[in-house]
Chain A
Amino acid sequence: MSDSEATAAEAPEVSTPESQDASPAGTPDSSSEITPDTSTDVAPTRKARRRPEPKPAAEVEEKPKVEEQPTKTPSESTVSQGGWGYWGSWGKSILSTATATVATVGQGLTNVIEKAETSLGIPSPTELSAQVEEEEKELGESVHHTDLIFFICEADKVAADGSAAVGSAMGMLTSLTSVVQSTGKTVITGGLDALEFIGKKTMDVIAEGDPGFKKTKGLMIRNATLSQVLREAKEREELQTAETAESDSEKKVVAHYGMLFDEFQGLSHLEALEILSRDSESKVKSVLTTLSGEELVQLRDELELIKDAFSLVEFDDEEVDEKKDEDGSEFERELTEALEGLSVSATAEKLSKVLTPHFCVLDQIPVLQITDITNPEEEEGEEDAKKTLSVEEVHAAAIRSLAELTARSIELFHKLAEMILFSNGSTEASVLSQLTVVLCKEISLLSKKFTSCLTTAGSNEKGDVLNPLITGVFLEASNSASYIQDAFQLLMPILEISHIQRRSESTEQ
């Protein structure tokens, strides 16, 4: 296991140390050469602030073994869904790990490059970068968005009839379908890897830029709150599930991220956090309208400091090394550290309790890995699924863990918001951002662990079964990080109003 893990994590960096150190996936850098508004030194700041933007992607369904899907008409299945196109610097190395195929997308999905690499399906960053660059040059003006990268996953054979075959993973994508419309693609195959071994290309990485960060951000705000978007996704999954329930012909382990996220009460906590955030925001506004002159200027300046703290966060994925934290203790330590910095008194206990279930999730991972590695070797017959975990099961566990960790993180932020609001202590935004970084790193780590686990468990599987599952895990990991970062942003008005309250209390005394 550790071998393949190591390969998964290191392959991209090792292969091209000189040219792509800063950016394993190559996309953000290379694209910035084309679109001037995303120079590299500005990008990290922006990334941390950006809300995830739903982008359309081909709708995907979990049905690796079923070629036809009678319940859906082609027109239904081609409906594009918005993808959470958030891959900040956070996503870079994950991306390079995940990337079996790469695609760039313009105003329409005009080109797809697929590229695969040995054994783990990882293209070298140089290749990726070169292709992306090439593609973007070809696309010319049509490529407006540059530093957004997201996956569209689909299986070729299903792509024929317009529906695609990766998990409900993609169910999270929603609403802003008008931003990018899928119109076509060119597929180039390559590589000697597991993917080609099967002869199927299943993962497309869509690199997409973001010209008008403001524009898309505006779209986002106008259209939906995060919880609305997530709720819609969950509802769609439920509908899907309900439909599947009708035809009980296929009984499969299908992990629906949105439904699981809701099951862990992530949606509720997010909604409650949004309520508090909105209320605080309007309170801040009304306070500002009552002030004038120097008082107003001074308060504005103070609030600006808080805002700055929320925009300077950089989620650097470079350090995320799956070897570093085998048992989750590192995460626990970092988390404790981050929480210690919070001056919300007497609540540490409550908070660690919130996260306890997550540690349980983490604990399962080594177990999964061991099971996966030992059993397939012992048994000659691949068909015997009873004793080994099937790739679908590992995938389901991965999606479940991601959904749970994300839900718990949102819960943590919600609880923090409540405590900040009722306690008088001051809370440093930097501590909250550190917490966000720790959580996002954990998401990244989790996805890497699970995908290497998947790779091992699926060594006998066909690529068109395995690869969509792997893509699905990385996709949801990316989504998870977006949700966490969004929840973090929701804390800003709460810190602002807390600051104002403390301020007025001190002047009264």
Chain B
Amino acid sequence: MHAERQTDRQTAVRATDRQTGSSQVMEAIWLYQFRLIVIGDSTVGKSCLIRRFTEGRFAQVSDPTVGVDFFSRLVEIEPGKRIKLQIWDTAGQERFRSITRAYYRNSVGGLLLFDITNRRSFQNVHDWLEEARSHVQPHSIVFLLVGHKCDLEAQRQVTRQEAEKLAGAYGMRYVETSARDAINVEHAFTELTRDIFALVRSGDITIQEGWEGVKSGFVPNVVHSSEEVTKSDRRCLC
């Protein structure tokens, strides 16, 4: 846990630190912006996980999300290579489903959360995946399966093995996290970011006009040689 927090400090360039002019300068320097969407049943802890990641704190009480909320943060995936994550935090409640559906299509990746102490939320993972995949068409979306609330080991209803198996069946990674104890929160987001970055670099995901999933950032020439930026900028498979 302590190790996790240290890593937090080392790698995080907090998007929420906006008091100084220098942070604005830092924020302007990123290689790409990835838009991620976070989905899953109501009360599995989507907002809490995101808040832990973007604000570094855990909210004991949290209102249900209405529609969608937004967060952003920079992640340094390699020294000097920063990715800006724009995170769309969707409402899990069924009654918002018709609205949140509209928000999928501009995301390049996402976290699919379930609560390890709530078997039902795990059973719904398949539906969520289907829902998301059908609404991001014609684009594809990279998901990471997250078993949340792993600090509540005693109440666990979903074993790590079965979750890993399910994730594997859909070609996803699986990570267990806890927003309360800050376990694997950084890890979950950075892993997903790295995976997407690799796909962008390999050309499997391209920047496209009119699609907000991946945006190219502005990189001062002095800081990066940034050949991959120019490469993928110019390429368009559509």
Say if the beta carbon of B103 comes within 8 Å of chain A.
yes
With contacts A259-B24, A347-B66 taken as known, whether A421 is within 8 angstroms of B98 at the C-beta atoms is: yes
A392 CB, min distance to chain B CBs, angstroms: 10
Which residues of the partner chain B approach A239 to less than 8 Å between Cβ atoms? 28, 218
Say if the beta carbon of A268 comes within 8 Å of chain B.
yes
| B217 to chain A: closest residue by CB | A238
B218 near A235 with CB under 8 A, answer yes
B66 near A246 with CB under 8 A, answer no
Interface locus among B67-75, B115-123, B174-182, B184-192: B67-75
Interface residue total, chain A, C-beta cutoff 8 A:
34
A242 near B220 with CB under 8 A, answer yes
Q: B188-238: which residues lie under 8 A (CB-CB) from chain A?
A: 212, 217-223
Q: With A and B bound together, what is the CA distance between A256 and B27 in angstroms?
A: 12
A242 near B219 with CB under 8 A, answer yes
Which residues of the partner chain B approach A245 to less than 8 Å between Cβ atoms? 25-26, 28-29, 220
A498 CB, min distance to chain B CBs, angstroms: 12
Say if the beta carbon of B42 comes within 8 Å of chain A.
no
| A264 to chain B: closest residue by CB | B18
Q: With A and B bound together, what is the CA distance between A253 and B220 in angstroms?
A: 20
Say if the beta carbon of A265 comes within 8 Å of chain B.
yes
Q: With A and B bound together, what is the CA distance between A414 and B220 in angstroms?
A: 35
Q: With A and B bound together, what is the CA distance between A244 and B222 in angstroms?
A: 12
Q: With A and B bound together, what is the CA distance between A350 and B221 in angstroms?
A: 45
Which residues of the partner chain B approach A275 to less than 8 Å between Cβ atoms? 102-103
Q: With A and B bound together, what is the CA distance between A253 and B25 in angstroms?
A: 11
Q: A246-270: which residues lie under 8 A (CB-CB) from chain B?
A: 246, 251-254, 256, 259, 263, 265, 268-269
- Interchain Cβ contacts within 8 Å, total number: 81
Which residues of the partner chain A approach B222 to less than 8 Å between Cβ atoms? 246
B218 near A268 with CB under 8 A, answer no
B220 near A350 with CB under 8 A, answer no
Q: With A and B bound together, what is the CA distance between A414 and B67 in angstroms?
A: 9
Which residues of the partner chain B approach A265 to less than 8 Å between Cβ atoms? 70-72
With contacts A263-B18, A272-B103, A418-B67 taken as known, whether A242 is within 8 angstroms of B88 at the C-beta atoms is: no
With contacts A271-B212, A272-B67, A419-B66 taken as known, whether A242 is within 8 angstroms of B102 at the C-beta atoms is: no
Q: With A and B bound together, what is the CA distance between A422 and B26 in angstroms?
A: 39
A63 CB, min distance to chain B CBs, angstroms: 14
Q: A271-322: which residues lie under 8 A (CB-CB) from chain B?
A: 271-272, 275-276, 279
B220 near A421 with CB under 8 A, answer no
Say if the beta carbon of A241 comes within 8 Å of chain B.
yes
Which residues of the partner chain A approach B99 to less than 8 Å between Cβ atoms? 276, 418, 421-422
Q: What is the 8 Å Cβ interface bit string for chain A, positions 421-433, against chain B (1 contact, 0 not)?
A: 1100000000000
Say if the beta carbon of A502 comes within 8 Å of chain B.
no
Q: With A and B bound together, what is the CA distance between A272 and B105 in angstroms?
A: 11
| A419 to chain B: closest residue by CB | B66
B66 near A350 with CB under 8 A, answer yes
- Secondary structure at chain A's binding surface: helix, strand, loop or mixed? helix
| A254 to chain B: closest residue by CB | B21
Which residues of the partner chain B approach A272 to less than 8 Å between Cβ atoms? 67-68, 70, 88, 103
A71 CB, min distance to chain B CBs, angstroms: 11
- By size class, the interface of chain B is 20 to 34
Q: With A and B bound together, what is the CA distance between A288 and B220 in angstroms?
A: 51
Q: Which of A241, A276, A396, A415 contacts B28 (CB 8 A)?
A: A241
Say if the beta carbon of A384 comes within 8 Å of chain B.
no
Which residues of the partner chain A approach B63 to less than 8 Å between Cβ atoms? 350
- Secondary structure at chain B's binding surface: helix, strand, loop or mixed? mixed
Which residues of the partner chain B approach A256 to less than 8 Å between Cβ atoms? 24
Q: With A and B bound together, what is the CA distance between A415 and B218 in angstroms?
A: 31
Which residues of the partner chain B approach A141 to less than 8 Å between Cβ atoms? none
B218 near A276 with CB under 8 A, answer no
Q: What is the 8 Å Cβ interface bit string for chain B, positions 49-90, against chain A (1 contact, 0 not)?
A: 000000000000001001110111000000000000010100
Say if the beta carbon of A243 comes within 8 Å of chain B.
yes
A244 near B24 with CB under 8 A, answer no
A423 CB, min distance to chain B CBs, angstroms: 9
Q: With A and B bound together, what is the CA distance between A279 and B100 in angstroms?
A: 12
Which residues of the partner chain A approach B2 to less than 8 Å between Cβ atoms? none
A422 near B24 with CB under 8 A, answer no
Q: With A and B bound together, what is the CA distance between A245 and B223 in angstroms?
A: 10
B212 near A242 with CB under 8 A, answer no
A470 CB, min distance to chain B CBs, angstroms: 20
Q: With A and B bound together, what is the CA distance between A242 and B22 in angstroms?
A: 11
Q: With A and B bound together, what is the CA distance between A275 and B88 in angstroms?
A: 14
Q: With A and B bound together, what is the CA distance between A265 and B22 in angstroms?
A: 19
| A265 to chain B: closest residue by CB | B70
Say if the beta carbon of B96 comes within 8 Å of chain A.
yes
A268 near B88 with CB under 8 A, answer yes
| B101 to chain A: closest residue by CB | A279
B90 CB, min distance to chain A CBs, angstroms: 10
Q: With A and B bound together, what is the CA distance between A246 and B219 in angstroms?
A: 10
Which residues of the partner chain B approach A252 to less than 8 Å between Cβ atoms? 21
| A263 to chain B: closest residue by CB | B18
B222 CB, min distance to chain A CBs, angstroms: 5
Q: With A and B bound together, what is the CA distance between A235 and B28 in angstroms?
A: 9
Say if the beta carbon of B95 comes within 8 Å of chain A.
yes
Which residues of the partner chain B approach A268 to less than 8 Å between Cβ atoms? 70, 86, 88
Q: With A and B bound together, what is the CA distance between A445 and B69 in angstroms?
A: 28
A417 CB, min distance to chain B CBs, angstroms: 8
A418 near B29 with CB under 8 A, answer no
Which residues of the partner chain B approach A238 to less than 8 Å between Cβ atoms? 27-28, 217-218
B210 CB, min distance to chain A CBs, angstroms: 9
Q: With A and B bound together, what is the CA distance between A268 and B222 in angstroms?
A: 30
Most chain A CB atoms below 10 A, which of B25, B27, B88, B95: B25
With contacts A275-B103, A421-B98, A422-B95 taken as known, whether A253 is within 8 angstroms of B21 at the C-beta atoms is: yes
Which residues of the partner chain B approach A415 to less than 8 Å between Cβ atoms? 66-67
Q: With A and B bound together, what is the CA distance between A237 and B86 in angstroms?
A: 18
Q: With A and B bound together, what is the CA distance between A158 and B134 in angstroms?
A: 54
Which residues of the partner chain A approach B26 to less than 8 Å between Cβ atoms? 245
Q: With A and B bound together, what is the CA distance between A490 and B124 in angstroms?
A: 34
With contacts A241-B24, A242-B218 taken as known, whether A422 is within 8 angstroms of B98 at the C-beta atoms is: yes
With contacts A263-B18, A272-B103, A276-B102 taken as known, whether A241 is within 8 angstroms of B70 at the C-beta atoms is: no
A269 near B70 with CB under 8 A, answer yes
| A236 to chain B: closest residue by CB | B218
Q: What is the 8 Å Cβ interface bit string for chain B, positions 28-43, against chain A (1 contact, 0 not)?
A: 1100000000000000
A242 near B28 with CB under 8 A, answer yes
Identify 5 residue pairs between A and B in the complex whose beta-carbon atoms are under 8 Å apart, listed by A's number.
A238-B27, A242-B28, A263-B27, A265-B72, A418-B99
Query: Other than the known A268-B88, A271-B212, A418-B67, what 8 A-B pairs have Cβ atoms closer than 8 Å?
Result: A238-B218, A245-B25, A254-B24, A259-B28, A269-B70, A275-B103, A347-B66, A418-B68
Kindly list the 4 A-B residue pairs having the minimum CB-CB distance in the complex, ordered from nearest: A418-B67, A268-B70, A241-B28, A238-B28
